[in-house]
Amino acid sequence: MDIRQMKYFKTIVEEGTISKAAKKLHMAQPPLSMQLKQLEEELSVILLKRGNKQIELTEAGNRFYKRCLQILDLTEITKNELKQSYQDVLRIGITSSNSGLIQQESIQEFIKKNKHVQYAIHEGSTYEILDLLLSHNIDLGIVRTPFDTSQVNTFYLEKEPMIAIGKKDYFINTKRKIKDFKDTPLIIHQRYLPLINDYCLNKLIQIQLKVTCDDSRTSLIWANSGIGVAICPMSSLALPYDHSLVYTILEDKNLYTGIAFITRKNEEVSTLLNEFIERFK
């Protein structure tokens, strides 16, 4: 039994038939059937019930499939870790609203100092970054609070306020708090909608939600269209946007959000990654 046979078995289970699995694996069906038969003979169990249309896992087959997933995942993790240790690759996941952090002088110094380092950057939501981290596809996540911290080590940067940004016509009168925008169509990132809704509910403020989106850059684009005012973290100003837009810093302390650096619990952080994180302290 080897890794190749485990990959074959995994593909058969996921494709549902041996013929579909053979097509996906770019091989003929008879050799794949032979590999499955040899695997069952070696394990001395029946792994699959062959039907007219779909295969069905036996109890032993189901247990073996779960174990295959674990072994194949561990194999991939080991390959990535060994590759990283020799190539000095920093695999970082970051939310779009945090991408401006790379412009900080301390990070520019790190990049110049470590010219041999390669950077594999993955962008996504906080939840997507968490999934990438826990599945060992990245080694550092840079995300927004709040999130589940039970499986990660966390280092927090200083909290920052929200801003309201839009065309100048929306800012004729002085506006400092979210309540001042209650009659203004708002553009809000899905990530911050629960935070803003809960705050407004407690303060008996009824807002006009016009647009929801999944990316801070999208919020700025829609604000530039004139359809409404975007509510987003202040660090979003580091993203490309039309500088004819006007913004104000919201004074509502309960709307402050934090940037967090996360790594996997119970795992040693590489010297290189630790040096990168230290640049933000």
Q: pLDDT-based confidence at 96, cuts 50/70/90?
A: confident
Report the predicted TM-score, pTM, of the whole model to 2 decimal places.
Answer: 0.58
What amino acid occupies position 114?
A: N
- pLDDT confidence of residue 69: 92
> Could you please report the per-residue DSSP string of 124-187?
--HHHHHHHHHTTS-SEEEEESS---TTEEEEEPPPB-EEEEE-GGGGSS---SGGGGTTSEEE
- pLDDT confidence of residue 101: 73
- pLDDT confidence of residue 267: 85
> What pLDDT, in 10s, does the model give residues 118-137?
888 998 888 899 999 998 88
pLDDT at 214 over 60: yes
Angle between helix 3-15 and 29-43 (nearest 10): 110
Q: Are strands 229-233 and 185-189 parallel, antiparallel or unpaired?
A: parallel
**Average of per-residue pLDDT across 212-218:** 89
- pLDDT confidence of residue 83: 65
How many distinct helices (H) and strands (E) make up the chain?
9, 12
pLDDT mean across residues, the chain? 88
Tokens of 268: 């040693």
- pLDDT confidence of residue 118: 87
pLDDT at 86 over 60: no
Cis peptide before 233 (omega within 30 of 0): no
- pLDDT confidence of residue 56: 87
- pLDDT confidence of residue 147: 85
- pLDDT confidence of residue 201: 94
pLDDT at 108 over 90: no
- pLDDT confidence of residue 71: 92
Contact present, 223 and 217 (Cβ < 8 Å): no
Q: What angle (nearest 5°) sits at the alpha carbon of residue 47, between those of residues 42 and 52?
A: 130
* Of 228 and 214, more confident: 228
Window from 7-16, 74-83, 149-158 with minimum mean pLDDT: 74-83
pLDDT at 80 over 80: no
Q: Which residue, 55, 68, 94, is CA-closest to 9?
A: 68
Q: Which domains does the chain have, with CATH numbers?
A: 3-82 (1.10.10.10), 88-158+259-278 (3.40.190.10), 162-255 (3.40.190.10)
- pLDDT confidence of residue 87: 57
